[in-house]
Structure 1
Amino acid sequence: MLFNSYIFIFVFLPLTLGSYYGLHKLGKPVFAKVALILMSFWFYGYFNPSYLWIMCSSIVVNYLLSQLLQRRWGGTISKGQLALLKKALLGIGLIFNLGLIFYFKYYDFFVDNLNKVFSTDFQLKNIVLPLGISFFTFQQVSYMVDSYRGETKEYNFTDYALFVTFFPQLIAGPIVLHNEVLPQFEDKNNWKINWDNMARGLYMFAAGLVKKAVIADTLSGSVSWGYSHLGSGLTSMDAILTMLAYTFQIYFDFSGYCDMATGLGYMFNIHIPMNFNSPYKALSVVDFWKRWHLTLTRFLRTYVYFPLGGSRRGTVRTYINIIIVFLVSGLWHGANWTFIFWGFLHGIGNALTRMFRKQWESMHVVLQWAFTFLFVNITWIFFRADSISQAFTFIKRILKFQNLNLHATFLQTFQLKEFYLIYSHIPVLNKIMASIRGSDALILLGGMLFLCLNFKNNQEMNFRPTTKMAAVTVLCLVWGIFTLSGVSEFLYFNF
């Protein structure tokens, strides 16, 4: 089920809030948790119920292994045997989880490349990727590794299942840790409606809905047009605008999702960790990854970078570790060489930024921002392209800089209907807009850049439930809901 759908907004969310708080009011906290788990199952299985068994099996296996890792064996076995047993259990768990992701996400990619390299003819399975498998698997891996390290509290199965399935973060993150959410579900102060949290949650959900339904989905049409016309007359200027359109599409798509997920958490009195912090304000590639997908960065740093040795094994090894981490990040995003190469580029960018830190920081802050923003724009081309060759063709089209014309049909894709309705009824504005070719694209892309650089992240706001904020919330909800003519997935649902 999608946050940006009528059934979620008008059916699922009211039923879930009502059942959760209603059961708490009746003094049934366990039943309230079970109800939330069952509703999360409905949320997950709405499009494809057959994949519920994958998530359920994953939860059961990981919970049992984590329980064994947490078990106090007393004097039944020696310390040496216990260490070996725990390593074996952790190994089994990692093989299970990585095997699950490999089969559903990477099997066809692996076999296809095997066939190309060795001229074999292994059959592809054309497996449909289960939604959110990378997210709920990584979340459980973190819990299991922490259990191995002795850093987890013992939770019953209901609590563990709720930790994994809590619907606001189930399909596209953030990748939360057990100690971030489970204590909040245990806090009795969170068992009744907090109207301040509810107001903040509704505002963030509404703001995220506008980012997704109004901005990101509008830009989606522009991006699709650009990439589909790459082989049939796409000009250099068309390509530049397409590149910028995708840069802002993925920004507002992911930012919108994060706002909606965080807002939903607030409605249940659960504070979900920040996952998005104005990444286009970044002054370096390193800074970018301190702002983009924060919980994925944290996971890779804690469970990949540090075990590789981090920065403790010399300068060269540190740079190698950084590149490995970003290769893993690229592969995590998708089974395509484009994602791997995108990760590799960001790994190189991170390593070079650290290598030449003094020279970089000596530049004017505007140049730092400009070079970072340009780097992010170019690397997004590989992230969006269907193949590496298509990405390079796209970049060549930009660099040729020969044909600076813009296709009229392409420019129409940037038109916000709401904005058009306003200026078309004001003769002076209508005349100005008509006299400037590409004015809709200029205003939309320029406006998005202004928003990215000059406004605080919604999670950083000092929110107060005032009449003004209530009006803004209602306006955003109405605007977002009336824009839901066609429901589209969030980009990160595919990862």
Structure 2
Amino acid sequence: MLFNSFEFIFVFLPITIFGFYGLGSFGLRQAAIIWLVLASFVFYGYWNYGSIILIISSMIFNYRMGIFLGNKYQNNPVKSYSLWVYHLFLYLGIAVNLAILGYYKYANFLIDNFNVFTGAELNLKNIILPLGISFFTFQKIAYLVDSYNGKTRNYSFLDYCLFVIFFPQLIAGPIVHHWEIVPQFANQKIIKFSYENFALGWTIFSLGLFKKVIIADGVSAYSTPIFVAAASGTELDSFEAWRGVLAYTFQLYFDFSGYSDMAIGISRIFGITLPINFDSPYKANSIIDFWRRWHITLSRFLKDYLYIPLGGNRKGETRRYLNLLITMLLGGLWHGASWTFVIWGGLHGCYLIINHLHISLKKYLSWHNNKQSILEILFYRILTFLSVVIAWVFFRSESLDGAIIILQSMMKFNFSSFFHNNLSNLTSNIVFYGFWLPFLLLIVWFAPNTQQILMQYKPTLSSDDSKISHAFLWKPNLLWATSLGLISFIAISKVLEAKASEFLYFQF
């Protein structure tokens, strides 16, 4: 079930809200939580009910494993074992989770590559990838590590279930920690309907829905045909190639930004505040800054549970750069079982290394305290943006050959090809480069984001200290109500007239 579908907006969400707050009005907190858990299972099982067995089995295993690991800190001689036993079970728990993820997501990839290198003809049946498995696997691994480190409490199985299965963030994040969300479930206030939470939640949801169905889906028409053509070996001119890559750059941005807003908005309707996951990443002035803004909770997980355990920056500069590269290569592979994702991750790993070397050079030359001029900031922002754009070519391409075709076409710089094309191509160039490109650049580089607009009401767990004009701050007044009503009307009209399209991050 998609957030941008008729079934979700007009059937599932209203029933879930009425059921949750209906039970809450009688003070039945546990019944309300059970209702939300069951609704989340319905939401997840809507695609494939067979996946419910997998996620329930996984939840039971990880919950019991978490309790066992947490016993390391209990002064109970019956439950106390040698430290190596807990260490062994921690690795066992992580291995089981990774094995499940590896089978569903990477088995065919490994077999295909084995066949290429050995000439064998091994074949696995078509494995259906359970939606959201990459996201909830990381959440459960983090829970086990935190249990081992004594950071978890004696959560009930019901609260743990909701932590894993909570439908707004189940499929594509944000990747939440237990300490961020489980204590909120215990708050008796969440079962009491709040007009403020509903208004904030619906505002954020509406903005996200608009981003998805109007902007992301609208600009996809300029992206998809180009990558499909490249995958088939079709030669492209430079304006076609750049149009396709830039269109995908914005499509992915607004698709993921829209999903993040919708997840945060839906959660807020139920009185739950999620962590920020998307913070205007194309405003970044460096690749380091980009990864502080793009998929923030994934970056946090990779840093805390991969980069730092590898040694982080504690073992010298060479080891630090190697750890960065390994982290980003695995981060790329996490996104998909394809060499294009590995290359994308490797590119960003190299970008980060270059960024850190640049910082070290500035410190060596004593330039790091110099205040940057507007021109410098603009230069670094454009350089960062173009670096990200180039990497997206591999991220989106269906094959290495397709990516190479697009990159070669981008390098042709045949400016006359803008006009020397058929009428359809010329029209696409004029509309995209004349309207879409300047409009979208203006938004992603200069406009305040959703969190900034609503900063007075703390829409996410993380605070935003940036300053924006008072005129852009959301207020419960007639002007904002009218504007949000119009945005909702336009977005829902699009939902009613067109088949809902999947969010791009669902495939990861």
Using the size of structure 1 for normalisation, the TM-score is 0.92
Give 1:352's aligned amino acid.
I
How do 1:302-451 and structure 2 match up within 5 A?
A: 302-357=304-359, 364-402=376-414, 404-405=417-418, 407-410=422-425, 438-451=430-443
Q: Aligned partners of 1:359 and 1:369: how far apart in 2?
A: 19
Q: Aligned partners of 2:423 and 2:396: how far apart in 1?
A: 23
Instruction: Look up the match of 2:465.
Output: none
Asked if the contact 1:200/1:465 (under 8 Å) is kept, the reply is no
Instruction: Look up the match of 1:38.
Output: 38
Give 1:240's aligned amino acid.
W
Asked if the contact 1:247/1:377 (under 8 Å) is kept, the reply is yes
Give 1:128's aligned amino acid.
I
Superposition deviation, residue 460 in structure 1: 2.1
Instruction: Look up the match of 1:465.
Output: 476
How do 1:24-423 and structure 2 match up within 5 A?
A: 24-71=24-71, 72=74, 74-76=76-78, 81-230=81-230, 231-357=233-359, 364-402=376-414, 404-405=417-418, 407-410=422-425
Cα 1:85–1:73, aligned 2, differ >3 Å: closer, same or farther? farther
Asked if the contact 1:275/1:295 (under 8 Å) is kept, the reply is yes
Asked if the contact 1:222/1:410 (under 8 Å) is kept, the reply is no
Superposition deviation, residue 465 in structure 1: 2.1
Superposition deviation, residue 70 in structure 1: 1.4
Asked if the contact 1:172/1:493 (under 8 Å) is kept, the reply is yes
Structure 1 counterpart of 2:444, from 440, 452, 455: 452
Q: Aligned partners of 1:66 and 1:250: how far apart in 2?
A: 36
Q: Aligned partners of 2:330 and 2:228: how far apart in 1?
A: 29
Give 1:390's aligned amino acid.
G
Cα 1:96–1:73, aligned 2, differ >3 Å: closer, same or farther? farther
Instruction: Look up the match of 1:426.
Output: none
Superposition deviation, residue 265 in structure 1: 1.1
Q: Aligned partners of 2:274 and 2:79: how far apart in 1?
A: 40
Asked if the contact 1:203/1:473 (under 8 Å) is kept, the reply is yes
Instruction: Look up the match of 1:425.
Output: none
Asked if the contact 1:225/1:410 (under 8 Å) is kept, the reply is no
Asked if the contact 1:196/1:465 (under 8 Å) is kept, the reply is no
Superposed CA deviations along residues 93-112 of structure 1, whole A, max 9, x for unmatched, are: 11110000000000000000
Give 1:383's aligned amino acid.
F
Q: Aligned partners of 1:103 and 1:255: how far apart in 2?
A: 30
Share of identical aligned residues, percent?
A: 43
Unpaired stretches in structure 2, ≥5 consecutive residues: 363-367, 455-473
Asked if the contact 2:65/2:144 (under 8 Å) is kept, the reply is yes
Cα 1:475–1:444, aligned 2, differ >3 Å: closer, same or farther? same
Give 1:195's aligned amino acid.
Y
Superposed CA deviations along residues 25-54 of structure 1, whole A, max 9, x for unmatched, are: 112111100100000001111121111111
Give 1:323's aligned amino acid.
L
Asked if the contact 1:203/1:469 (under 8 Å) is kept, the reply is no
Using the size of structure 2 for normalisation, the TM-score is 0.90
Instruction: Look up the match of 1:4.
Output: 4
Superposition deviation, residue 234 in structure 1: 2.2
Q: Aligned partners of 1:182 and 1:76: how far apart in 2?
A: 28
Instruction: Look up the match of 1:419.
Output: none
Superposition deviation, residue 407 in structure 1: 4.8
Asked if the contact 1:69/1:86 (under 8 Å) is kept, the reply is yes
Q: Aligned partners of 2:505 and 2:171: how far apart in 1?
A: 8
Give 2:338's aligned amino acid.
N
Asked if the contact 2:222/2:432 (under 8 Å) is kept, the reply is no
Calculate the aligned-residue CA RMSD, in Å. 1.6
Q: Aligned partners of 2:425 and 2:210: how far apart in 1?
A: 23
Cα 1:239–1:3, aligned 2, differ >3 Å: closer, same or farther? same
